[in-house]
Amino acid sequence: MTTLVRNAWYVAAWSSEIDDTLRRFTILGDPVLLYRRRDGHVAALEDRCPHRLLPLSKGKRIGDAVQCGYHGLTFGPDGKCTRVPGQDKIPPSAYVDAYPVVEKNDIVWIWMGDPHRADPEKIFDLPQFYEAGWHAHQGDALYLKSNYLNVAENLVDPAHVSFVHPTTLGNSASENVPVHVSTEGPTITAWRWIRDAEPIGFFKAFGGFEGNVDRWHYYHLHAPSIAVIDFGSADAAAQIDEEDRDQGNRIFALHFMTPVNENETIDRWMHLRNTAIETAEASEKIDAMFRIAFGEDKEILEAVHAEEARPLKRRPIRLAIDRGPMVYRKRITEMLERERTDDVSAEPDGSYVYHD
Ligand code: FES
Ligand SMILES: [Fe+2]
């Protein structure tokens, strides 16, 4: 049974990845051709000619259209065939799927499901993208040989941080601090505060803290596959309230997980921050630290995926820390069930505009 939810906006690429050349991506198991039209808009077509199945990405641009590299069938950015060399009549089945695409916040969003349900208003957003005092910086497209559910549930699981990321995002001070979980509204949120503790490596590098800090981690996961990790630190002496996180050094790490297929995922990650916003050097240093941390996650998640492929002798055990991941998996099952039964009236509110 598939785990891939189709009726959702996924990140196909960073805007900077798409220009006028023909590029092939695989999203939810489907081959997708992305290119920029002359008016600057991004076109997204099924990357498979309906004649002998040659990927259109092996053809060439003719204006805004694409000419197949095998026998020259030509398709407009709407997927309609406009030319069949050697005959006047264009068969009705000569078309490729065209996917809804929207560019927002320098990100190319794609809708792989029922096109009639593609509502651009429901594309992920954060107020901090537009606020003064905040800086957005795009990181990498991290490839993981793991089902996206494993990748996503890791992002509503603060309990792994002390053990998987001891030098960057965690330290032993948080090992036994309980995790709170809220499953109300469209997001699942897991969070915890570690009060009056030594700063983690990340904020030693960026906070300039002399003594102990209060540190927070809020993991917001929106099904199917967007995670916002709000983390930061403030001087412990200031004793800030939970709602006053802007007074500290605060970073939103955003993860947009796009399933390549059932066994592979691209995690495009970026961050927004309210600290050291003017300097490119800070972005590079943060990227370097994230690369260490997300490389640690990749190793774990690929190993877990490999074990899942073997026959299991018994069901994995569940612990108190698993509440967020369990609710997440349940939501995915419900979304898949809705798609299978095609119950339009039960369509969830897919909007995800996160307000602090
Ligand atoms: S395979 Fe594309 S035109 Fe023949
Ligand atoms: Fe992690």
Residue 352 pLDDT > 50: no
Report the b/e string of 236-245 with b at 16+ CB within 10 A: beeebeeeeb
Token pair for residue 13? 């690429």
| Predicted local distance difference test score (pLDDT) of residue 170 | 66
In short, whether 98's Cβ falls inside 6 Å of ligand 1 is no
**pLDDT higher than 50, residue 199:** yes
Q: Which of residues 275 and 104 earns the better pLDDT score?
A: 104
Q: Which residues contact 302 (CB under 8 A, 6 or more apart)?
A: 144, 145, 146
Question: For the residues of 222-279, what is the DSSP string, one character each?
Answer: ETTTEEEEEEEEEEGGG---GGGGGGSEEEEEEEEEEESSSS-EEEEEEEEESSSTT-
Instruction: Give the CB-side neighbour count of residue 169, counting CA atoms within 13 A.
Output: 31
Task: Looking at the CA of 72, name the nearest ligand.
Answer: 1
- In this prediction, residue 203 has a pLDDT band, given cuts at 50, 70 and 90, of confident
What does residue 128 show for φ and ψ, rounded to 5 degrees? -65, -15
The candidate with the shortest Cα–Cα distance to 200, out of 177, 217, 180, is: 217
Question: How many angstroms separate the alpha carbon of residue 67 from the centre of ligand 1?
Answer: 9
Decide: 277 in ligand 1 pocket, CB within 6 A: no
Q: Is 34 in the pocket of ligand 1 (CB under 6 A)?
A: no
Lowest mean pLDDT across 127-131, 231-235, 325-329, 347-351: 347-351
51 Cβ closer than 6 Å to some ligand 1 atom: yes
Which of 33, 47, 48, 52, when mutated, tests ligand 1's pocket best, judged by the most ligand atoms within 8 Å of its CB? 52
| Ligand nearest the Cα atom of residue 269 | 2
pLDDT for the residue numbered 356: 36
User: Which of 17, 50, 16 minimizes the C-alpha distance to 31?
Assistant: 50
pLDDT at 355: 37
- How far is residue 327's CA from residue 345's CA, in Å, rounded to a whole number? 22
Predicted confidence band of residue 222 (pLDDT cuts 50, 70, 90):
very high
- The structure's pTM equals 0.92
Nearest CA owner, ligand 1 atom 3 = 71
Ligand 1 near 193 CB (within 6 A): no
Mean pLDDT confidence for 183-199 = 89
> For residue 327, which of 191, 218, 176, 222 has the smallest C-alpha distance?
222
- Per-residue model confidence as pLDDT tens digits over 1-52: 899 999 999 999 999 999 999 999 999 999 999 999 999 999 999 999 999 9
The average pLDDT across 168-176 equals 67
Q: Is the CB of 52 under 6 A from ligand 1?
A: yes
Tell me if 70 CB under 6 Å of ligand 1: yes
Residue that wins the pLDDT comparison between 3 and 246: 3
Closest protein CA for atom 4 of ligand 1: 71
Q: Is 68 in the pocket of ligand 1 (CB under 6 A)?
A: yes
Instruction: Show the tokens assigned to 312.
Output: 């299991």
pLDDT score of 346 more than 70: no
* pLDDT of amino acid 173: 66
Give 204's pLDDT tier (boundaries 50, 70, 90).
confident
The answer on pLDDT for 321 being more than 90 is: no
The answer to whether the beta carbons of residues 352 and 187 sit under 8 Å apart is: yes
Q: How confident is the model at residue 174 (pLDDT cuts 50, 70, 90)?
A: low
Residue to mutate, 49, 62, 95, 96, ligand 1, most ligand atoms under 8 Å from C-beta: 49
Which of 100-104, 143-147, 171-175, 296-300 shows the lowest per-residue confidence on average (mean pLDDT)? 171-175
**Element housing 300 (H / E):** helix 280-308
Give the pLDDT confidence score for residue 172 in this predicted structure.
67
Q: What domains are there in the chain, each with its CATH number?
A: 9-117 (2.102.10.10), 124-346 (3.90.380.10)
